[in-house]
């Protein structure tokens, strides 16, 4: 779906010989579905879908998977900041909610899941709320609605196979982990100790690593985050927030003994690298600022760390993916973008909310406290939401409807 189109443009035109594409007329459906559509850029696929009802229906699932994993807004010009392209698609095609397919997210992770499981794996509890309140609960056929609720429970258990039920949010995020999550967190914690040790003896002149050991330690951390060759994610969380909590704990523990230059390096290359690996919805929350997040409404879907289609949107909303962990990072506490300055030990910081205007650039000396404590309530708020969507006691009288698979 093309993000910059108006609501009217989302509605397919009536089929007619004039708007019927040559592709639909002469290319077999199997070829379109398995060869042409998957290799077509998503914005072009959205444009093609607007040509007729058949094209809209045939491309809906691919566009839905992409919209769900990327937490895309319906439009970057929409007034309601919470509107999601995936929810709009699901309202037209609720039968696709539990259908499984393969998708690659902004970080290159290959994922096999249904749209519902993508919301689970990315931690998009706000999208889950909309699914249950605006789609499943609106199904008029009581039997079909019950079957969809049963399917949601089944896919929750598939996504989090080690989750003990009934779900207890007091056990923390680890209640949702699979083996991959557990191994990654353990490796990150060990590597952070190595990074701390190298930074402690590295002056990080002008906020840059001066020792090869420091550069190597951070590069190895980034490699831990990177998608593994041949790895296909099917269960667990795509990027556990315990990683961010561990990183900020090290930042807090070394805030006073380290110099501003050392803190600057850690912030940009460690915090920035972790943000780059975070999910799209968590990127939206960080860009908004965790301290300003409305936990009922959710983040501004028009503004995030990863915008695949920045055309036509303000510069401050442009993608940061090529800069995170390299030349800049985002302060998750208030959403301020911090860029390495030409002035030693300084950041040039862009606050999109400004002090007296639409945006303001300031210069910070050294690095301030980033409100690491904001991660704990953010995780806890999400965990309370998980309780709502975790399975209750099984209904043996309800079977899963075949057409929903």
Q: What is the pLDDT along the chain (405 residues), one digit of tens a residue?
A: 334 333 333 444 434 433 345 455 555 555 445 455 455 555 655 554 555 565 556 678 888 999 999 999 998 888 899 999 999 999 999 999 999 999 999 999 999 999 999 999 999 999 999 999 999 999 999 999 999 999 999 999 999 999 998 899 999 999 999 999 999 999 999 999 999 999 999 999 988 999 999 999 999 999 999 999 999 999 999 999 999 999 999 998 998 899 888 988 999 999 999 999 999 999 999 999 998 899 999 999 988 898 765 555 566 566 787 889 988 899 898 888 888 877 776 778 877 665 433 344 454 544 555 556 788 899 999 999 999 999 874 444 444 444 343
CA distance readout (Å), 176 to 47, 261, 307: 38, 37, 27
Who contacts 127 (Cβ-Cβ below 8 Å, separation ≥6)? 68, 71, 84, 86, 87, 119, 281
Sign of CA dihedral 51, 54, 58, 61: positive
Angle, helix 53-69 to helix 85-92, in steps of 10 degrees: 140
Q: Three-class SS of residue 350?
A: strand
Who contacts 299 (Cβ-Cβ below 8 Å, separation ≥6)? 81, 126, 281, 284, 285, 287, 288, 293
What pTM was computed for the model? Answer: 0.83
What's the pLDDT score for residue 91?
95
- For residue 248, the number of C-alpha atoms closer than 13 Å in the C-beta half-sphere is 18
Q: Three-class SS of residue 136?
A: helix
Q: Which helix (H) or strand (E) holds 104?
A: strand 101-104
Provide the residue ranges of all domains of the chain, joining segments of one domain with +: 1-69, 97-405
Q: Is 285 exposed, middle or buried (0-12, 13-18, 19+ CB in 10 A)?
A: buried
d(CA 233, CA 347): 37
Minimal CA–CA distance to 248: which of 340, 341, 386, 367?
Answer: 367
- Strands 328-330 and 110-113, by their bridges, are unpaired
What's the pLDDT score for residue 39?
53
As a dihedral over the C-alpha atoms of residue 261, residue 266, residue 268, residue 271, rounded to 10 degrees, the angle is -160
Three-state SS for 158-207 is: HHCCCCCCCCCHHHCHHHHCCHHHHHHHHHHHHHHHHHHHHHHHCCCHHH
Who contacts 194 (Cβ-Cβ below 8 Å, separation ≥6)? 217, 220
Tokens of 203: 């002056």
Eight-state DSSP code of residue 365: E
Task: Say if residue 402 is preceded by a cis peptide, omega within 30 of 0.
Answer: no
């Amino acid at each position: 779906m093309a993000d910059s189109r108006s609501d009217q443009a989302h509605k397919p035109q009536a089929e007619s010989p004039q708007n019927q594409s040559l592709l639909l007329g002469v290319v077999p459906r199997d070829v379109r579905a398995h060869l042409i559509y998957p290799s077509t850029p998503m914005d072009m696929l959205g444009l093609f879908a607007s040509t007729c009802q058949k094209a809209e229906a045939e491309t809906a699932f691919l566009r839905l998977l992409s919209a769900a994993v990327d937490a895309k807004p319906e439009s970057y010009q929409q007034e309601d900041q919470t509107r999601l392209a995936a929810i709009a698609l699901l309202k037209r095609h609720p039968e696709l909610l539990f259908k499984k397919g393969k998708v690659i997210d902004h970080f290159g992770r290959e994922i096999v899941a249904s749209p519902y499981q993508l919301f689970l794996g990315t931690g998009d509890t706000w999208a889950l709320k909309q699914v249950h309140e605006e789609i499943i609960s609106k199904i008029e056929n009581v039997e079909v609605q019950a079957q969809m609720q049963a399917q949601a429970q089944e896919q929750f258990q598939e996504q989090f196979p080690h989750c003990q039920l009934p779900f207890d949010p007091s056990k923390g995020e680890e209640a949702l982990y699979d083996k991959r999550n557990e191994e990654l967190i353990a490796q990150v914690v060990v590597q952070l100790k190595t990074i701390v040790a190298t930074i402690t003896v590295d002056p990080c002149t002008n906020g840059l690593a001066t020792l090869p050991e420091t550069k190597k330690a951070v590069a190895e951390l980034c490699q831990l985050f990177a998608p593994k060759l041949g790895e296909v994610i099917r269960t667990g969380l795509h990027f556990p927030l315990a990683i961010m909590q561990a990183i900020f704990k090290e930042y807090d523990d070394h805030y006073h003994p380290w110099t501003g230059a050392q803190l600057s390096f850690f912030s940009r290359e460690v915090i920035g690298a972790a943000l780059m690996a975070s999910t799209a919805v968590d990127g939206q929350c960080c860009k908004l600022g965790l301290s300003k997040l409305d936990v009922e409404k959710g983040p501004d879907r028009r503004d995030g760390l990863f915008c695949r289609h920045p055309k036509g949107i303000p510069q401050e909303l442009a993608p940061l993916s090529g800069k995170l962990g390299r030349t800049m990072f985002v302060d998750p506490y208030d959403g301020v973008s911090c860029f390495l300055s030409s002035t030693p030990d300084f950041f040039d910081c862009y606050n999109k909310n400004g002090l007296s205007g639409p945006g303001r650039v300031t210069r910070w000396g050294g690095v301030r406290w980033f409100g690491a404590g904001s991660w704990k309530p953010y995780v806890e708020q999400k965990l309370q939401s998980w309780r709502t969507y975790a399975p209750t006691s099984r209904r043996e009288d309800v079977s899963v409807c075949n057409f929903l698979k």
